[in-house]
Amino acid sequence: MSALRGQVIFRSSREVRVLHEGQVFRCDLAGRLRKAGSNPIVVGDWVEFERNENTDVESDGRVLAVEERKVWLSRRRDVGKARELILAANVDQVAGVFSVKKPRIKFGALDRILMASEYMSLPALVVINKTDLGIPDEVEERLSVYPDLGYEILRTSAETGEGLDLLEEKLRGKATVLSGPSGAGKSSLISKVLGIDLKTGEVSEHNEKGKHTTTAVTWHPGAADSAIVDTPGFRDWALWGLEPRELAHWMPDLKKHLHDCRFNDCMHREEPGCGILGAVESGDLDPRRYRSYLGILDSVLERIERDR
């Protein structure tokens, strides 16, 4: 029996669901693919699988091999020892999804998601959801730097439908991975855009972070080769794989001034002749983005120290 080709749309410790010509096959993994190790098979991977001839077994088939990944979005795992968590592979773009309130947008997390996207050369956009709750001026002001950096901002409300047509247009024909804190409205937006009914979570008053309702990454196929990948929320979006010395390279507004630094190994903190510090002083660089860089640099260095 010949092998078939399909794409992983879901995986748990027990099974992998593979989409092949519009049909979903629940597959087991060949032994060597089940072995621990980091991210042997992730949502978005293209795989070779075979169907089970034997109808007595519960699964529909078995994954034999995983094709090489072209591109993927990673962050660092929230818990346990330092490990890469690949959110999704073989996507075309990233959308950082945040809400104005409940939970309130954290720009540090947004900047990290954008940096991880730059690192993988994936285009990224910013979705600000829950516009029905109003966007404070201070948030609008902070957001205003992003379009110039190449990140389009979409303002949506899954509640009232505002901005959903434009969101749908931006997602059409592409595979997009959504990442953002729990409760921002990722699953609600996907439900609305694709006309499906995903479980969404209530955000309790005392816990602005919201409940983790989406517990596994899921690839939702849409019309015409489009797909939206839902991912679980996070406590703290931590970067994976980016070298501390190169962090500024992944922030386009900082990168612009790198060639002005006197020293090659400048970390842009208080080194003399730093082009980035100079740009902050002359007003060519948004001081909040610079402070965000410093915060991210600190946390990356701190984690390296802790992992030692």
Ligand X SMILES: Nc1nc2c(ncn2[C@@H]2O[C@H](COP(=O)(O)OP(=O)(O)O)[C@@H](O)[C@H]2O)c(=O)[nH]1
Binding interface with ligand X (CB under 6 A): 129-130, 132-133, 157-159, 180, 182-188, 200-203, 210, 213-214, 233
Name the residue nearer to ligand X (CB basis): 197 or 270. Answer: 197
Between CA 242 and CA 224 the distance in angstroms is 34
Segments in the chain forming alpha helices (H): 31-34, 107-119, 137-143, 164-171, 186-194, 252-255, 275-281, 287-307
261 binds, among ligand X, Zn ion, Mg ion, none (CB under 5 to 8 A by kind): Zn ion
Pairing of strands 93-99, 175-179: parallel
Positions 198 through 217 that interact with Mg ion (CB under 5 A): 214
Which among 29, 231, 23 has a CA at the least distance from the CA of 6? 23
Positive or negative, the CA dihedral 175, 107, 148, 131 is: positive
Find the shortest distance in angstroms from Cβ 115 to ligand X. 21
- Nearest to Mg ion of 119, 237 (CB atom): 237
Given ligand X, Zn ion, Mg ion, none, residue 103, with its beta carbon under 5 to 8 Å by kind, binds none
As measured in angstroms, the least distance from the Cβ of 41 to ligand X is: 24
Question: Which residue lies nearer to ligand X by CB, 114 or 158?
Answer: 158
φ and ψ at residue 247, rounded to 5 degrees: -55, -45
CB of 170 to ligand X, least distance (A): 17
**By C-beta, is 182 or 226 nearer to Mg ion?**
182
Number of Cβ atoms within 10 Å of the Cβ of 265 = 7
Q: Measured from the CB of residue 235, what is the shortest distance to ligand X in angstroms?
A: 13
Q: Which residue is nearest to Mg ion (CB)?
A: 214
- The angle, 0 to 180 degrees and rounded to 10, between the axes of the packed helices 164-171 and 186-194 is 80
> Which residues are at the interface with Mg ion (CB under 5 A)?
186-187, 214
